[in-house]
Structure 1
Amino acid sequence: MPPFDPVTARLVVAVSRYGSIGRAAEHENIAASAVSRRISEVEARLGVALFDRSLQGVRLTPAGETYVAGCREILREIADLHTEMVDFAIGTRGSLRLACTSSALSGRLPELLATFAESHRGISLDIQEMSASLALGAMDDGQADIAFVADNNDVGRFETEMFEDDNVLVLCSPEHPLAERLRSGRPIAFDEVAQHEVVGIHHSGALDRLLSAAAARSGRALGERVRVETFPSLVRMVEAGFGIGFLRSTSLHLLAGTDVISVRLSDDWAIRKLLAVRRRSSPLSRPIREFLALARKSHVPLG
């Protein structure tokens, strides 16, 4: 049996994560044909098929599931060994790998990273924006040091700490029937706003899951007059009077320069937190320790 090849192992894990050779190749910045060739070669050496291939993509065979689980464990050990070696140096060099949701990159994280980079010029920052599920998968695979995800994700297997308030807000235009109520600044219950038409968004993130679950519990179907692709577009359509909208407090800056009125939802499910997530027992390099210390020092909870 040839020696373990971490590059091929990382590609196999990436293909299993994305369910597509093309998407994995794009993420790993390598030609899809090269990924396919490496997988075929390792399958030939092992004498088993790791993936079932179809027009819809690829999925792991039972043998592939076992192989990927082993690859992940070895890749985590390699990542941990690298992290431990960093601390043997003076500490002025190293890297910080972050897997971030869009919500995280809409809040205080960019400014925090700029502050960190200014005082740690020898530290390279690898910042990747992805969905929460992919961010947590990157943690499992040892591809990130810290992930930033909302607290309604399954994070029980990780070490977590609160990074930022990320409450759910309801928005309306100054002419909307809810405007006077929202101007009071008092948090409002979801049931009080759910009967109004909503500006929806083509998005499958944490906010959508929260709103869908809340609507199901209240027995309501949210009426969507219009649907947009991005949160800036949502704010513009709300401002134009097409309905109410919902936004996370990390995106509150999008309201700057608009007449849109916002207030926090009072429901327990809408009082959310953005978490900094790490693998349990993974070593803490100096860059990770100092970044987390800066994050704790600079955090100011919202009222």
Structure 2
Amino acid sequence: MFSSDHLKGITPFLYTADLGSFTRAAEHLHLSSSAVSKSVARLEERLGVMLFERSTRRLALSDAGRAYYATCKRVLQELMDAENVLAEQASDLAGKVRIAVPASYGRLRVMPALLQLCGQYPKLQPSIAFSDRFVDLFEERVDIAVRIGMPSNWPAALGQMHLGDEHLIFCAAPTYLARRGTPHTIADLEQHDCIAYGRSDGTPMTWLFAASDGQVERRDVTPRMTVGDAEARTAAVLAGLGVAQLATWLVQEHLASGAIVEVLPSYATPGLPLYLAWPLARQLTPKTGILLQELRQRLTI
């Protein structure tokens, strides 16, 4: 059973750490400096470690003190979040919400959905971050994230909602195909200009092909061009510079208009999974729960 004794001394300790002295902490807590000092000393005695390094000139956290400070701040923030959840009674989608999305997918697919939601819910105040880097939802205090790909170890405190999988197709512009011909086999690609996704060091990503046994086969291609941005690769295809493997969410409007056409359809294959992710504690708030359902309805493939 957890004892309330574990909470004693934490507030004086945190104030002392933040302000750098017992005297200043005492002023903020409306206590005497002696009372704050004794409270911290009792806490150190109970923990069996020195939380501060004391000298006549300075008061600084010890290594153990820094670790304990970080834990206390995190736990208190979680308590504040829990209180906010219980205090929030709104049934409407309103208030501030921080959303993290991948750059290209966010601009092309998530942003239109969010603009619709902002029109439907005038009190919604989204803060939207676009980035292809890994976003730590807890460290950066993100309410909801859209992720392409699933991590090998999904944190237990993180909720997830599968939206579907990408569909990868091979495609080119009609002007390119009129000039170079249409590839009909994988071997034909060797005679074509390929536009591949380039890693940060410039090396091309392998292409995926649907095999006859239903499995997915990876093959290296020798590209004419490597491009480290999805929308820029699409622009290269639209310019008639070659064949690329692209997700349908990236080019669906161009496919509909005929500006880009699919080739090698029998080799099309599923790509990475798409997910909504969120800290489970945030799901208790009405706005997060509503927003998750609204985004699921609009983004599910």
TM band (smaller chain): 0.5 to 0.7
Q: 1:107 to 1:275 in 2, by over 3 A?
A: farther
Q: Spell out, residue by residue over 1:260-292, the C-alpha distance to the aligned partner (whole angstroms, 9 max, x if none).
A: 223667566x34331101223544211112212
Question: TM-score with structure 2 length normalisation?
Answer: 0.60
Q: 1:83 to 1:275 in 2, by over 3 A?
A: farther
Q: 1:164 to 1:85 in 2, by over 3 A?
A: same
Mapped partners of 1:125, 1:4: distance in 2: 36
Q: 1:4 to 1:152 in 2, by over 3 A?
A: farther
Structure 1 partner of 2:276:
276
Offset at residue 227 of structure 1 (A): 2.9
Q: Spell out, residue by residue over 1:32-73, the C-alpha distance to the aligned partner (whole angstroms, 9 max, x if none).
A: xxxxxxxxxxxx83244xxxxxxxxxxxxx998x57973784
Structure 2 partner of 1:40:
none
Structure 1 partner of 2:195:
199
Q: Spell out, residue by residue over 1:197-252, the C-alpha distance to the aligned partner (whole angstroms, 9 max, x if none).
A: 42134456xxx99x44859x967432121234543432232244433212222212
Q: Is 1:179 paired with 2:182?
A: yes
Q: Percent identity?
A: 15
Contact 2:14 2:69 in 1 (8 A): no
Contact 1:76 1:141 in 2 (8 A): no
Whichever of the two has the greater Rg, that structure is 2
Mapped partners of 2:85, 2:75: distance in 1: 15
The secondary structure found in structure 1 opposite 2:297 is helix
Mapped partners of 1:265, 1:144: distance in 2: 40
Superposition pairs for residues 114-129 of structure 1, below 5 Å?
A: 114-129=115-130
Structure 1 partner of 2:291:
291
Offset at residue 76 of structure 1 (A): 5.9
Q: Is 1:133 paired with 2:134?
A: yes
Contact 2:17 2:60 in 1 (8 A): no
Q: 1:71 to 1:89 in 2, by over 3 A?
A: same
Contact 1:99 1:147 in 2 (8 A): yes
Superposition pairs for residues 32-71 of structure 1, below 5 Å?
A: 45-48=60-63, 70=71
Q: Spell out, residue by residue over 1:113-137, the C-alpha distance to the aligned partner (whole angstroms, 9 max, x if none).
A: 1121122222210111122512xx1
Offset at residue 149 of structure 1 (A): 0.4
Structure 2 partner of 1:110:
111
Structure 1 partner of 2:243:
244
Contact 1:173 1:179 in 2 (8 A): no
Mapped partners of 2:172, 2:89: distance in 1: 55
| Alignment counterpart, residue 3 of structure 1, candidates 1, 15, 18 | 15
Offset at residue 145 of structure 1 (A): 1.0
Structure 2 partner of 1:169:
169
| Alignment counterpart, residue 148 of structure 2, candidates 147, 150, 164 | 150
Q: 1:83 to 1:229 in 2, by over 3 A?
A: same
Q: 1:97 to 1:170 in 2, by over 3 A?
A: same
Offset at residue 147 of structure 1 (A): 0.9
The secondary structure found in structure 1 opposite 2:145 is strand
What is the total number of aligned residue pairs between the two structures? 233
Mapped partners of 2:140, 2:160: distance in 1: 16
Contact 1:168 1:265 in 2 (8 A): no
